[in-house]
Structure 1
Amino acid sequence: MDTSLLKKAYSPEAFREQGHRLVDLLADHLTDTSSGKSNKTIAWNLPEKEHEYWADFLENGNEQNFFQTVIARTTHVHNPKYMGHQVAPTAPMAALAGLLSSFLNNGMAVYEMGMSSSAIERIVTDLLCKKIGFTTSARGFLTSGGTLANLTALLSARKAQVEHDVWISGHGEPLGVMVSEEAHYCVDRAARIMGLGEQGIIKVPVKTDYSMDTSKLEACYQKAVEDGIRIFAIVGSAPSTATGIYDDLDEIAKFAQKHGLWFHVDGAHGGAAIFSKKYSSTVKGIECADSVVIDGHKMMMMPIITTALLFKNGGHSHTTFSQKADYLLEQAEGEDWYNLAKRTFECTKTMMSLYWFILFKTYGNAIFDEYVTHQYDLGQRFGKIIQENPDFELAVPPASNIVCFRYITDSLSDDELNILNKTIRKALLEDGEFYMVQTTLKGIHYLRCTIMNPFTTEVHLAQLLQKIKKTAKEIELSRV
């Protein structure tokens, strides 16, 4: 059989040439975006048109131009005018670790398929547990994203809190979790996947600053009990995704202890504040949690997608997915921390521990302190700039690098302002210079910035506000 194509595909010489060319392209892209030389954050295209473009490229495009074309047609998170979703501009060293992981392709289901990366994962998660304030009995692992990590944490909570084995006999009674009405949608989704149903998701109202109203906890709990629902866990947001506001983890911890509930902290975005000397107070009480989620690809400058799930009692990290698979999972005495398929929803996963380890090794904790503190400081300053500008209104003073605000004018009602702000956001998306998103809070439509880029300055933020005002005026004039 002819194997010439296989030999070509695995050619070390071709790989060396293509790899050098790609790194040069990415280095030039980093220079152009981080310096502001590139004047577009996103080259917006309609889904149908983009699909048409790539269908044609598959048939007629030059594969030598593939990397450059992808760069040109994607969202540039390294541009200081990127203020959109909670995705970090990847630190180059972490990106290189991602290349190493992709090339070596050690699946990590069992120790022999991920020796170095499994040992490194233990070191990284132990370091995170210590930083949270857990004891040496804590353990954790890395998994693919906050959604999967939050689901796993709630499965662990159910396993620990519910007396009968749900895996064997299913739910013996209606079960429920308590969570802020402003919590990330993945908590709601996790509860539904677990079969808790809508009645099993106890939404706690929020205060005017959109943090969980802990004064309502007892009433919500008692109402659920009266309805025959067994509450087994409560979730604190650190912070909520829409607003960037932290729940009072200390108060939630006290409530959880009072009722014997599992206390889980969704710190996917802001759990990294444990590294910030200035902002660590935002997660006061996190050390009381039974489980904590922290995303590496949000506030820790790593590639998508890697998340740490950490348990105060390390034993809970081993029992959630206990089952027999003789071909893969041998029975072992002792902790058996190194066979990760026993502990995660995933079997195969990337060597994501390399991202974390190389940043810790190269730069130490200080880089995470610097990054979180810098981005949160800029969020505070942006909030003050908006408060001082009569053309804008803050949803709430920011507690992190997430800032929600809207353009306002006395001549329009709230409904009309909602339409105007939606139209402004659409115009900015199509223009492509800035990239930001939007959210709705209590019926009011807000523009939403997440300041993820360390190269963003107050100058860029002022330029954004000017662009919004100019766009708003053009929209209003077009309607006259």
Structure 2
Amino acid sequence: MRTSTSKNEILLNAYSADCFKKEAQKVIDIIANELENIQTNGLQNTIDRKLPEEQLAFWSEEFASTGSTSLSQLSEKIMEHSIHFHSKGYMGHQVAVTLPVTALTSALIGYMNNCTTVYELGMAGNAMEKVVISHMAEKYGYDKGATGFVASGGSMGNLTALVTARTSSGVEEKDYHRLAIMVSEEAHYSVERAAKIMGIASENIIKIPTDKSFAIRTDLLESYYEKAVADGKTVFCVIGCACTTSVGAHDNLEQIGTFAEKHNIGFHVDGAHGGAAIFSEKYKYLLKGIERSDSLIVDFHKMMMTPPLSTAVIYNAGHRKINEFSPKAAYLWQDQLSEEWWNSAKHTLECTKPLTIIHTYAIMRLYGDEIYRQNVDTLYDLGKEFAELIKEEPDMELAIDPCSNIVCFRYVPDHGNINETNKIIAEELLKDGTYYTTSTAIRGEFYLRVTLMNPLTDTEELTGLLQKIREAANKHNNPE
């Protein structure tokens, strides 16, 4: 019998339920206090940007400190030196303003440390993935028997879906060098990267031009396909965007589906951001035709308000051969060839994948699909409202009318270079820190870009941003 614990005192205290309970309450209070402060005290700084060297110096010094600290003290420092996604001024990248409940599900995921590799390591998780994927597949109009799972992010999801399309194409491995895909020139970079990882040559990544709305020109699909065939290429998949990352454009999925069916090739939809519109009666028309696709992805960690990374990969029934990756691991399972949805690692590049599905399952169980409808409607409506505000300003212009919560626009100066002026405005906004916005290049022109991710952002913040932009422009034009 062990009589002394002094040798392992630090280790045992680290596992102490009492110590955990006390510290957990302090951390929860910090999060709750920030939420209350943001929601009751109006717009405050969204980001206090320090130079990378300054951040490194601070954390190097903090790490080297010999003084005692606690998790709650570290949490305060971390939050102080980080961007605040829950600020009403957060209008930057397509990163979710997470539901507060996911702070608690994150704690559960971290403590349990289950994974979906094999059934026994994630019994609840594998079953929860099956339930949620089936529910999502039904929402998208997929046939009964649709399958899928959760992957760690949209890049992993697109890669997995393209590998599946290749396996299901029937093309023999010796002919893989001929394989080609067709995709919008505005598609997310993860599609091209996935193709290159698969060994598809750059010239076999066939990029289709877009129209004035930045949607893929479906009228060009046939001619581009015929040329590819004439060049000895084997097109095995066409990808539709719902929506594009840069400007939020939606491809015509109905027409892409018709093209894919005509030539008997795979049809995949990258719905990482806009796929959540399926929950909205008002905006699901943007996804018309998605039910004809062979596969799709949608990020839970964008419009569905969970922490990253968590992406649904869904396959329409009858459009997939299993064993995309042909894993042979006798120490995990004896049957190498069967479907076995409960052994997730058979169907993904990932093995020890965390149970991020707990976030989405909990949200669906606690709030139902209605919370997604409200979030999509609120944010997409906000995008349209912001666009109308911009149209009313004589010194502002839109890139295109938005169909989502992504809005690209710019300030139009009386004189000087419009691109350089807006670059300076973007820098000034970042220095100021009240708002966090991004920028993008659209056909060679520089535009400011916002993605309205916070459902608590309202008209006051939108008009405030335009005022900040004008102040930055005036500062540039009238330096002291």
TM-score by length of 1: 0.96
Between the aligned partners of 1:95 and 1:291, the Cα distance in structure 2 is: 31
CA distance 1:87–1:249, shift in 2 (3 Å): same
1:46 to 40, 46, 51: 51
1:343 to 330, 347, 362: 347
Between the aligned partners of 1:349 and 1:266, the Cα distance in structure 2 is: 21
- Whichever residue aligns with residue 354 of structure 1, its letter is I
Is residue 157 from structure 1 mapped to residue 165 from structure 2 by the alignment?
yes
The residue number in structure 2 matching 1:406 is 410
Is residue 90 from structure 1 mapped to residue 103 from structure 2 by the alignment?
no
Cα distance per residue 1:322-359 (max 9 Å; x no partner): 22111113217864110001011100011111111111
CA distance 1:196–1:76, shift in 2 (3 Å): same
1:63 to 53, 57, 69: 69
2:128 to 99, 117, 120: 120
Offset of 1:63 from its aligned partner? 2.6
Between the aligned partners of 1:210 and 1:341, the Cα distance in structure 2 is: 37
- Whichever residue aligns with residue 253 of structure 1, its letter is G
Between the aligned partners of 1:418 and 1:191, the Cα distance in structure 2 is: 33
2:145 to 126, 133, 137: 137
Between the aligned partners of 2:285 and 2:215, the Cα distance in structure 1 is: 15
Offset of 1:94 from its aligned partner? 2.4
Offset of 1:43 from its aligned partner? 1.1
CA distance 1:39–1:172, shift in 2 (3 Å): closer
Is residue 267 from structure 1 mapped to residue 268 from structure 2 by the alignment?
no
- Whichever residue aligns with residue 464 of structure 1, its letter is L
Residue pair 2:398, 2:408 contacting (<8 A) in 1 also = yes
Structure 2 runs not aligned, ≥5 long: none
The residue number in structure 1 matching 2:398 is 394
| Partner secondary structure for residue 114 of structure 1 | helix
The residue number in structure 1 matching 2:19 is 14
Taking the TM superposition and a 5 Å limit, the aligned residue runs for 1:190-269 are 190-269=194-273
Between the aligned partners of 2:370 and 2:476, the Cα distance in structure 1 is: 45
Between the aligned partners of 2:60 and 2:398, the Cα distance in structure 1 is: 43
Between the aligned partners of 2:119 and 2:302, the Cα distance in structure 1 is: 28
CA distance 1:382–1:345, shift in 2 (3 Å): same
CA distance 1:314–1:101, shift in 2 (3 Å): farther
Residue pair 1:249, 1:285 contacting (<8 A) in 2 also = yes
Between the aligned partners of 1:52 and 1:104, the Cα distance in structure 2 is: 34
CA distance 1:174–1:332, shift in 2 (3 Å): closer
| Partner secondary structure for residue 26 of structure 1 | helix
Between the aligned partners of 1:353 and 1:13, the Cα distance in structure 2 is: 29
Offset of 1:314 from its aligned partner? 6.2
Offset of 1:9 from its aligned partner? 1.4
Cα distance per residue 1:365-421 (max 9 Å; x no partner): 111011001100110111111112111110000000000001112423xxx211111
1:370 to 362, 374, 381: 374
- Whichever residue aligns with residue 218 of structure 2, its letter is T
Between the aligned partners of 2:276 and 2:17, the Cα distance in structure 1 is: 39
How many percent identity over aligned positions? 41
| Partner secondary structure for residue 477 of structure 2 | helix
| Partner secondary structure for residue 269 of structure 2 | strand
Offset of 1:147 from its aligned partner? 0.5
Q: CA RMSD in A?
A: 1.5
Structure 1 runs not aligned, ≥5 long: none
Between the aligned partners of 1:299 and 1:54, the Cα distance in structure 2 is: 32
| Partner secondary structure for residue 439 of structure 2 | strand
| Partner secondary structure for residue 437 of structure 2 | strand
1:286 to 261, 271, 290: 290
Between the aligned partners of 2:370 and 2:252, the Cα distance in structure 1 is: 26
Between the aligned partners of 2:403 and 2:245, the Cα distance in structure 1 is: 12
Residue pair 1:95, 1:355 contacting (<8 A) in 2 also = no
- Whichever residue aligns with residue 133 of structure 1, its letter is G
Between the aligned partners of 1:477 and 1:376, the Cα distance in structure 2 is: 36
CA distance 1:19–1:206, shift in 2 (3 Å): same
Q: Which moved more, 1:92-101 or 1:371-380?
A: 92-101
Residue pair 2:380, 2:403 contacting (<8 A) in 1 also = yes
Cα distance per residue 1:149-197 (max 9 Å; x no partner): 0010000011111421x3xx5x444211111001111111111111112
The residue number in structure 2 matching 1:306 is 310
Residue pair 1:36, 1:80 contacting (<8 A) in 2 also = no
CA distance 1:463–1:58, shift in 2 (3 Å): same
| Partner secondary structure for residue 263 of structure 1 | strand
Cα distance per residue 1:211-254 (max 9 Å; x no partner): 11111111211222222211110000000000011001101111
| Partner secondary structure for residue 153 of structure 1 | helix
Taking the TM superposition and a 5 Å limit, the aligned residue runs for 1:437-452 are 437-452=438-453
Between the aligned partners of 2:388 and 2:224, the Cα distance in structure 1 is: 35
Between the aligned partners of 1:382 and 1:81, the Cα distance in structure 2 is: 14
The residue number in structure 2 matching 1:460 is 461
The residue number in structure 1 matching 2:428 is 427
Offset of 1:282 from its aligned partner? 0.4
Structure 1 runs, 4 residues or longer, greater than 6 Å off: none
